[in-house]
A = this chain, B = another copy of it.
Amino acid sequence: MTATDDAGLTVGEAAGSLRVTVRTLHHWHEIGLVAPGGRSASGYRLYGAADLARAQRVQLYRELGLPLEEIGALLDGGDASASLIEQRDRLLTRIDELRAMVNGVERMIDAGSRGLLLTARQQAEIFGPGWDPAWVDEARERYGDSAQWSEYAERAAGRDASDWQGIAETMRSLDADLASAMREGVEPGSDAANALAERHRDTISTHFACSHAMQVCLARTYVDDPRFTAHYEAFAPGLAAWLQRVIDANARAHGVDPATAVWE
């Protein structure tokens, strides 16, 4: 009467009408989720109306993200609403996890593209009046491709204003100690000077792993870039040049030739 005269559809036909792949039906058969009602004489799977109906129910629950095993239990008399409620909870917790990831990713993106997650006002408060927020953009422009910038950005993404406060204070006290050491006549290459050089390197290493060679390169900029020079000269005249000699001597003591040292 209802004119499906034959014994059923082949996998390909069933797959077509269900809009799934043949492999999917094979898999569902393998795990006993949807078995074809029978086989043709030559071993072809034959799916009857009841099989197709079951497969459709499987699809319905699969679209809700339920694991196939649970769908099987559910279709064979299990408690649907219990599974559904559990599934809703799983989905919601997963969504929360993903949202936390999005949050983190966006912090990282911002840190990488802005250099700092602080507003200009916050930067002024934390780094003091000598600070120009445009420097961050310039630094990103020049070093944004380097591995060290990536490292810097990763760490910056995890810092908030109070973290920066601490870092800024550490740097200020280092600058002050450098200035008084110079005034007290500490000689580059002396133990005291080398200790200060290492303290400088540690401080830089809060931003990225800084080798002795890199430190030498940084010291060059302190002398060559008038803005850095001005920063150190404000603490004590001649400080930039003295710091370079301190860093160079310490580098030599660690087997690095300051004359030929390169970044990386």
Contact = CB atoms under 8 A, between A and B. Distances in A.
A109 B84 contact: yes
A70 to B, nearest CB: 12
Contacts of A104: 63-64
A73 interface: no
Contacts of A92: 102
Interface stretch (A4-12, A93-101, A224-232): A93-101
A198 B88 contact: no
Given A65-B101, A87-B105, 16 more contacts: A50-B209, A60-B154, A63-B101, A64-B105, A74-B150, A80-B112, A80-B154, A81-B113, A84-B108, A85-B109, A91-B101, A91-B102, A91-B105, A95-B95, A95-B98, A95-B102
A92 B65 CA distance: 17
A156 to B, nearest CB: 12
Interface in A60-76: 60, 63-65, 74
A1 B84 contact: no
Contacts of A153: 80
Contact of A53 (B53, B60, B209): B209
**Secondary structure call for the A interface:** helix
A105 B87 CA distance: 8
A225 to B, nearest CB: 26
A262 interface: no
A155 B102 CA distance: 35
Nearest to A104: B64
Contacts of A65: 98, 101, 105
B87 A98 contact: no
B84 A94 contact: no
Contacts of A84: 105, 108-109, 112
B88 A105 contact: yes
